[in-house]
Structure 1
Amino acid sequence: MEFAYLQTPMGIAELEGDENGLAAIRVLDEEKPIGIVPEVLEDAVYQFQEYFEGKRENFDLKLNPSGTDFQKKVWQALKEVPFGKTLSYMELSKRLGDPKAIRAVAAANGKNPLWIVIPCHRIIGSNGDLVGYAGGLHRKKWLLEHESPSPQQSLF
């Protein structure tokens, strides 16, 4: 696997992938040197930069996340939540055909290895509260505000 590091408004992003696709994206709390970007990750870094500059709403990348079949099904459903929109865990469970699977759906959402590209930050509590984000609720809030159609107003 190859690694690239990118400064974002929320910290250093670590992108991991190879010729089979992007496998993981993590936001780090510690500093990492921003160095040469491996060729297999150049497009991912470029698209991430565009996203943070407000020039990109969707990613067009080859993805290769590791997970169970159920997790991959949930992650695929997450990719269908449009930029600037949110969905509750219950609504996501219903879209997947089983409202009783809400806890399993939430767990799969939390295991998403592709931060932002698979937009797990767009999933909120049924009452509209920000809940459950592996990167921290402050980052979830930032992402939702970044994607808000009315950036001058805070969602939360």
Structure 2
Amino acid sequence: MNLFLSHLDSPLGAILLVTDANDTLRALDFVDHQSRLQRVLRQHYDEVELTEKQAPTEIADALARYFQGEWEALNSLRTATAGSELQRGVWAALRRIPAGQTTTYGKIAKELGFDDPRAAIDVGAANGANPIAIIVPCHRVIASNGDLKGYAWGLHRKRWLLGHEKAIAQKEEPHTAMLPGF
């Protein structure tokens, strides 16, 4: 499969976009998780040939607007993902979570028609396999006790995204004071 790779800067670090010939988003990852991106592409599409190109304007503009506080800017972006029926159902449910709100793995499982409380584990696994960070907002899913739990791209990014969307109080990341001579 021939796909296109683009790079964008963001407040969370450099982003990698994978799109198809129609500028439909197939994957979004961060440069520091490039090996994850390669693994996801192999799992979903077997052999992929990536050609570098400039980020599609529609996607770049929507992401810029999102990072400027226009959270709904991502809603109209076209995405296409491979994956199991359960995964695609979970990813569709994630896109229905409004910015500024969170939900739980269990609530998504119930929304998808699962009565078994253990289905939340399957939802969590599908959530973790999401190939399109931010646009498919798996960062909006938290544990039933309010904990942020895992995030494939790092809890610091999940915390930042939820704070940016005002879903949780934004915390300043700790930083080390510069010592004289360093």
| TM-score range relative to shorter protein | 0.7 to 0.9
Computing the radius of gyration from Cα coordinates, the structure with the larger value is 2
2:63 is aligned to 48
Cα distance in 2 between the residues matched to 1:56 and 1:86:
14
For structure 1, list consecutive stretches of 5 or more residues without a partner in the other structure: none
For structure 2, list consecutive stretches of 5 or more residues without a partner in the other structure: 34-51, 173-182
- For residues 45-97 of structure 1, the C-alpha deviation after alignment (integer angstroms, 9 at most, x for no partner) is 11111111113424211211121111000101111111100001111111111
The match for 1:134 among 152, 159, 174 is 152
Cα distance in 1 between the residues matched to 2:98 and 2:126:
19
The 3 A distance-change label for structure 1 pair 19 and 81 is same
- Report % sequence identity: 41
What stretches of structure 1 move > 4 A for 4+ residues in a row?
Answer: none
How many pairs align? 149
Contact 1:13 1:26 in 2 (8 A): yes
Tell me the TM-score normalized by structure 1: 0.87
Aligned-residue CA RMSD (Å): 2.2
> Which amino acid in 2 is paired with 1:81?
I
1:27 is aligned to 30
Cα distance in 2 between the residues matched to 1:55 and 1:125:
26
> Which amino acid in 2 is paired with 1:86?
T
> Which amino acid in 2 is paired with 1:13?
I
Alignment of 1:78 with 2:84, yes or no, is no
Tell me the TM-score normalized by structure 2: 0.75
